[in-house]
Structure 1
Amino acid sequence: MINLAIVVSLGAALAACSSQALPDSSPAPSHARESLARTELNKEWAKFASVYPDAHRPKVDRIRFVALVDWPDTFGRCLTEFGFAATITPDGGVTYSGNVAQQQAFDLAGFECRSMYPVDPESSIPLDGERLSSLYDDYLNRLVPCLEKRGVVVPEPPTRQLFIESYYSGNGWEPYANTSDLPQDQWYKLNKDCPQTPPGF
């Protein structure tokens, strides 16, 4: 049996949505939205084709864009419709257990589900300075005390300005940084008790 983790976490996805300088965070125009979605799917197929070079790309019609926060549940239900019993984990991930012989079929189902229900490109627009400042306040006032109460050693927070400037650098301050060695059940419980992002963010 194999266990496949499809989505690490929503918090990680939000943090990794861009490594570029912060642009205007207003909604993307429709043509830009379509272009971004097409680019992401082309990247997904390129990854698939690198593993399965003889595969033929299926023609898949998009059903709708899905908000990032709703995507794990939507993706999991889509995989289940393809015959793969997926499980939504407490940290917003999707896992599936199956036979190695099913790997290519599973990966193809994943591509088709991403094609039918792609993450809305607007979810990938980097946060502007004002929203990052709000996130900084949430980390300090809610997340850090919650983690410390449960015995997690949180790295020393930077100044607000440094937090904003380094958020998309790949080396930004992350309150969850010292939790990677936790057993899976403890990790899930921690994510439930101390969500990585504030409600509605």
Structure 2
Amino acid sequence: MILTVPLGTAYTDHLTRPQVQRKDWSTTPLESDQKVASCMRADGFPVEVSPTGGLRYSTPPAAQARAWALAMNTCIAQHPVDPSYTQDWSEPQLRLVYDYWDQYLIPCLEAQGFTVDTSTRPSKESFVTAFFTPGRHDWWPLQATMRGVPEERQTQVVQTCPELPPQDVFWGTSG
């Protein structure tokens, strides 16, 4: 059985978290997942990162479950996402995402041969004002467009058409 863990989600069981020294900060959940997967592979456990994010792995054999959970928790603790990049998006950031999708992502996906369904696209104002409410619009063009697309093709598309603006632009940082 293959399990897919959403970006930034930690695997937990009834183990106590080990005392672990952080090795670095990641600036995105995807970067953290890539480091966690590499760490798990170094510990002998096959873990991959799916093209649009999240960890993929087979359920470990019962005899290895405890060692697997300890390794996963250790790897996650060593490579967390910097908390300054996990705060709620501001109104200017939400506007930037909407404009990026409209002006870059959708045309990029269409140039890759995809038809992007914009029939449920909210107005920019509606997208921004409802984002943190129960009435939020679940309009995410990349995720919707990639449903049913083979993983290898998703990897190519995501490299060509990133889902979000560059980190330095989005967060206003230089690195």
AA in 1 matched with 2:38: R
How far apart are the structure 1 equivalents of 2:16 and 2:93? 42
Instruction: Look up the SS of the partner of 1:127 in the other structure.
Output: coil
After superposition, where does 1:3-22 map in structure 2 within 5 Å?
Answer: 3-8=2-7
With over 3 angstroms needed to count, the CA separation of the structure-2 counterparts of 1:152 and 1:74, relative to structure 1, is same
Q: Structure 1's 79 and 155: CA in aligned 2 closer, same or farther, altered over 3 A?
A: farther
Q: In the aligned structure 2, how far is the partner of 1:71 from the partner of 1:191?
A: 17
Match in the other structure for 1:109: 71
**1:151 equivalenced with 2:115 (yes/no):** yes
Partner of 1:96: 57
Which string of whole-angstrom CA distances, capped at 9 and with x for unpartnered residues, describes residues 46-71 of structure 1?
x422xxxxx34422222333221521
Cα distance in 2 for partners of 1:4, 1:81 equals: 20
Asked if residue 182 in structure 1 is aligned to residue 142 in structure 2, the reply is: no
Task: Indicate whether 1:77 and 2:38 are aligned.
Answer: yes
Q: Percent identity?
A: 26
TM-score normalised by structure 1 residue count: 0.65
Deviation of 1:180 after TM superposition, in Å, equals 6.4
Q: Does 1:191 align with 2:158?
A: yes
Q: 2:13 — aligned with what?
A: 48
- Deviation at residue 150 of structure 1 after TM alignment: 0.8
Gaps of 5+ in 1: 14-39, 50-54
Extract unaligned runs of 5+ from structure 2: 171-175
- Alpha-carbon contact 1:76-1:88 (below 8 Å) kept: yes
After TM superposition, which residue ranges in structure 1, 4 or more long, deviate above 6 angstroms?
none
Structure 1 CA distance for aligned equivalents of residues 49 and 97 of structure 2: 25
Instruction: Quote the RMSD (CA, aligned, Å).
Output: 2.9
Task: After TM superposition, give the deviation of residue 98 of structure 1 in Å.
Answer: 5.7
- Out of 89, 101, 120, the position equivalent to 1:127 is 89
Counting matched residue pairs gives 161
Q: Which has the higher contact order (CA 8 A, sep 6+)?
A: 1
> SS of the residue aligned with 2:165?
coil
Deviations 1:90-119 (A, max 9, x none): 323332346432344323221111222221
Aligned partners of 2:145 and 2:65: how far apart in 1? Answer: 30
The Cα offsets for residues 29-82 of structure 1, whole Å up to 9 and x where unpaired, read as xxxxxxxxxxx9xxx58x422xxxxx3442222233322152122111211222
User: Aligned equivalents of 1:104 and 1:4: distance in 2?
Assistant: 17
SS at match of 2:18: coil
SS of equivalent residue, structure 1 residue 176: helix
Moved more, 105-114 or 146-155: 146-155
* CA–CA separation in structure 1 for the residues paired with 2:6 and 2:67: 18
Of 60, 66, 69, which residue of structure 1 is paired with 2:26? 66
